[in-house]
Structure 1
């Protein structure tokens, strides 16, 4: 009889810290709320500020620079990163398959340079018995490019299905894996990685989901941010002494917004995308229940980075089409209108838009900054852990800091799996994280420092202190216990100069050890590439 737990990781894409209901948001997420009520919410868990690096770190237990994916999946050599998941690391799937687990994945991969031709960095070649999803980083929800089953392109399935919606397909595939596993392999545990693209742009949602949010955001981002903060304080997620960050200087006051109807619809669609994902998560949970697997399944839910403030410029969408993130035409041959243009209402397949900076500022309530940056708004994720056979303090909060490198360590301890020093003839560095299982029992002091770097934006956290900089600016120092919203920079105070120096030296030692490439080298590569293409 199976004793070892199943492991299910649910990752979503470009969602802010406080969007879902159990973290204070307006979006209806009853299934995630159920997992939180029956499990734990970690309030200070961190991702790595961007899609590909977060996925590389989650899968390997290493910092993304150690895996070859310091930024995205561009090959930036010799100045920069390879953009491919390195052979000198192991994925959770590879580790668990060696231990007798069946391994499955549905959703977004985004850790391979090649998006159309199978390579040794595709899911089937990195430990997964079965795979369904997209290899690229984003996609039309109704007709995604790079849609793949195992190693075979199956875009035609979406083309020929008038009801196709990618969020549903990801969830349904996960449900099918669980059902088939229970039937064929009842004695084996499984590992399932379900990586939704929701709510990453484009703003594509189903009309019935959009309708549920009609008027919900009509009070605008200023009032809604304050209301969210109040709910977060009531839930115990946010300390009352942490002051709400100011509205982003690039965002107008809601009362001054000229295109309120358009802006409201953008947020309604974003909410509908998350709502639909939650519906799919509900089907996954029900299938686990029906197969008698729920109690012995460790489920972890999180987002790959903070809310995304990226504005999509009007135009032909050439780079998106070339990069396999979009199509120039719909299934019916209609032209796709790219860019955030008020008056062109998003939601359907003929548009390709994002919800923009103003709503991303709300998504990250109460923090500042966004995806790309390593201030709290860029790296803070809602984290839910659910495992009835192990978690007894159901519905509780944990405030111990953690980050993506801890996922591997947690799974190793939970399953008893062995982490290799060599794999397929390659030397494998030790994983960087520490197990979260002790935190399931109660808050504890963090033993290891936390480190981040993305596009020159850098940070280190040791205890309550966080040293952070927005490239190419100077270091800032914050007391996270007193000021997690990072409003009072203490770096220039005489009392903290020694701390700033010590923490910056620890950061530099980590960056050197983990292969962080100076931002200047990457910019040099980008400039040279631009000249070649001009």
Structure 2
């Protein structure tokens, strides 16, 4: 890499978005800002996350596996006697912001935190700023605007903070959370440019995580688009993915999920079209915001020496929001105080502030085209993310697709190398867990690159290991399955019976990793969850 002043770094994360949900990854959803970024940068076809929001964000921010970072399950503290499951970032890890700040970077975050513990809807149920519930300002970020919790209304999000303080939304002004995340990210860039020091900006959108909320004018753009149905949309995306070269022409499209009816047998087609139209509008609003961030970089002549990384924290989400049950703990109320009743009710169209719906399994199956399963599972549908990287001043080629298997844990190592900063052995008096990720800089330079170590996953008993072309995976409580990723990344032809020696060797690798990282059996963890 030729000599250059230290780059600014912008890390953009989307929430619960599938592999094929943006234009440059085969989607019918209009994403001109991201498409332009891809045309001028690199696309990864095999970037992996950690299958769910908070474990992925823990890995992304620390360069460690979720259990090493303290979020081996979720952010709730169930009293599990292991720091791997404490539910918030451990002191034995550092965030990208902490590491870069030590090296002279300015740091800012706009959006969803979700790695600091369990924050209830009512502020009285938690104490912001305590050691048990670290906020971004306590983990290396100079500036913060966003939500601490994992999900909530786009019109009235709970746990909304600016800096170190909870803030209230002005009921007399328009408010849409995606747009506010963008506005504050742009504001932070304006603040950063006042000094000569480079900056790290983490933009963590909640879109398109449920609930289905979007402005009417954005929804209207997609009304009727999805009346052709989930089967047809999957086929179209699959064809475009092959045309772009993001997936092999040899791979088969995974069958429609058994839990999804054929489109011709589906009920409430107008409502189904509307659900997916709102989901598409949420992605469109996010892309508009990303375009505004890029425009601000252009206005200040920062684009050429800014490393931009875009990806999703997990695959599309198949969760059905029932009218009664756990989801009621996330809903809250409208800004006027009126309670919101959750539920996917076909008698009411989604999108407005008084609704709280999800797009459900059949459409999540579309989002994850061409793969199987969803957020939470570690088959390809749950862990595969689009990933775009741009750095105009340094990339040797543009509009290139890279097929090497990479993971969120690699982002920290990459950021530190381009910034010329060493990963610390000690921080705030704590010995720091050695970095798990591997720098992707050789790939950015157009050179050869090969992983030194396999990639591992475990979430709620679902576990996997990928070692070069082989992937060993289990859907809890099932048996190990073995797939050759080069010829069958859609995981349709289990080879475990044909290659028992490979299964045995990879299972041994997995168990060694699980022991080293403090992974506990899911049967044990379940005894603590009530």
- Normalised to the residue count of structure 1, the TM-score between the two structures is 0.95
Asked if 1:108 corresponds to 2:130, the answer is: no
Q: Which residue of 1 aligns with 2:130?
A: 119
Q: Which residue of 2 aligns with 1:188?
A: 197
Distance 1:150 1:320 in 2: 28
Contact map agreement 2:331 2:342 (CA 8 A) in 1: no
Q: Which residue of 2 aligns with 1:35?
A: 37
Contact map agreement 1:17 1:363 (CA 8 A) in 2: yes
Q: Which residue of 2 aligns with 1:231?
A: 240
Distance 1:87 1:326 in 2: 31
The one-character-per-residue Cα deviations of 1:403-422 (angstroms, maximum 9, x if unpaired) are 01100111111111111111
Distance 2:385 2:221 in 1: 25
Shift of the 79–470 alpha-carbon distance from structure 1 to 2, 3 Å rule, reads: farther
Distance 1:482 1:447 in 2: 22
The one-character-per-residue Cα deviations of 1:215-271 (angstroms, maximum 9, x if unpaired) are 111100101101111100000011011000000000000000011011110000000
Distance 1:514 1:232 in 2: 36
Asked if 1:510 corresponds to 2:496, the answer is: no
Contact map agreement 1:175 1:283 (CA 8 A) in 2: yes
Query: Where do 5+ consecutive residues of structure 1 fail to align?
Result: 530-534
- Tell me the SS of whatever aligns to 2:331: coil
- Tell me the SS of whatever aligns to 2:527: helix
- Tell me the SS of whatever aligns to 2:108: strand
Asked if 1:393 corresponds to 2:406, the answer is: no
Distance 2:137 2:172 in 1: 25
Contact map agreement 2:321 2:327 (CA 8 A) in 1: no
Distance 2:110 2:328 in 1: 23
Select which of 468, 471, 491 maps to 2:473: 468
Q: Which residue of 2 aligns with 1:26?
A: 28
- Tell me the SS of whatever aligns to 2:44: strand
Contact map agreement 1:8 1:299 (CA 8 A) in 2: yes
Q: Which residue of 2 aligns with 1:5?
A: 7
Q: CA deviation at 1:332?
A: 2.5
Asked if 1:297 corresponds to 2:306, the answer is: yes
Distance 1:78 1:308 in 2: 27
The one-character-per-residue Cα deviations of 1:433-487 (angstroms, maximum 9, x if unpaired) are 1111111214633322111111110000111000000011100000000000000
Q: CA deviation at 1:2?
A: 8.6
Contact map agreement 1:400 1:439 (CA 8 A) in 2: no
Distance 1:381 1:291 in 2: 30
Distance 2:267 2:72 in 1: 39
Distance 2:118 2:496 in 1: 43
Cα RMSD between the aligned structures?
Answer: 1.3
Contact map agreement 1:242 1:484 (CA 8 A) in 2: yes
Q: CA deviation at 1:320?
A: 4.1
Asked if 1:64 corresponds to 2:74, the answer is: no
Q: CA deviation at 1:79?
A: 4.7
My pick for the range that moved more, 204-213 or 516-525, is: 516-525
Q: Which residue of 2 aligns with 1:166?
A: 177
- Tell me the SS of whatever aligns to 2:362: helix
Distance 1:232 1:146 in 2: 38
Q: Which residue of 2 aligns with 1:144?
A: 157
Distance 1:413 1:113 in 2: 30
Q: Which residue of 1 aligns with 2:122?
A: none
Contact map agreement 1:406 1:433 (CA 8 A) in 2: yes
Select which of 488, 491, 513 maps to 1:486: 491
Q: Which residue of 2 aligns with 1:532?
A: none
Contact map agreement 2:80 2:525 (CA 8 A) in 1: no
The one-character-per-residue Cα deviations of 1:58-106 (angstroms, maximum 9, x if unpaired) are 0000000001101210112235611011011000000000000000000
Asked if 1:286 corresponds to 2:299, the answer is: no
Distance 2:15 2:172 in 1: 24
Distance 1:144 1:266 in 2: 20
Shift of the 220–400 alpha-carbon distance from structure 1 to 2, 3 Å rule, reads: same
- Tell me the SS of whatever aligns to 2:528: helix
- Normalised to the residue count of structure 2, the TM-score between the two structures is 0.96
Q: Which residue of 1 aligns with 2:123?
A: none
The one-character-per-residue Cα deviations of 1:332-390 (angstroms, maximum 9, x if unpaired) are 33331201121121100101010000000000000010000000000000000000011
Q: Which residue of 2 aligns with 1:525?
A: 528
Shift of the 443–262 alpha-carbon distance from structure 1 to 2, 3 Å rule, reads: farther
Distance 1:455 1:131 in 2: 31
Alignment length, in residue pairs?
A: 516
Select which of 221, 227, 234 maps to 1:212: 221
Q: CA deviation at 1:326?
A: 2.4
Distance 1:170 1:231 in 2: 31
Q: CA deviation at 1:488?
A: 0.1
- Tell me the SS of whatever aligns to 1:352: coil
Distance 2:447 2:283 in 1: 30
Distance 2:497 2:354 in 1: 51
Contact map agreement 1:79 1:524 (CA 8 A) in 2: no
Q: Which residue of 2 aligns with 1:341?
A: 345
Distance 2:96 2:338 in 1: 42
My pick for the range that moved more, 71-80 or 27-36, is: 71-80
Query: Where do 5+ consecutive residues of structure 2 fail to align?
Result: 120-125
Contact map agreement 2:109 2:203 (CA 8 A) in 1: yes
Asked if 1:424 corresponds to 2:436, the answer is: no
Distance 1:149 1:8 in 2: 19
The one-character-per-residue Cα deviations of 1:90-133 (angstroms, maximum 9, x if unpaired) are 00000000000000000000011153422342100000001000
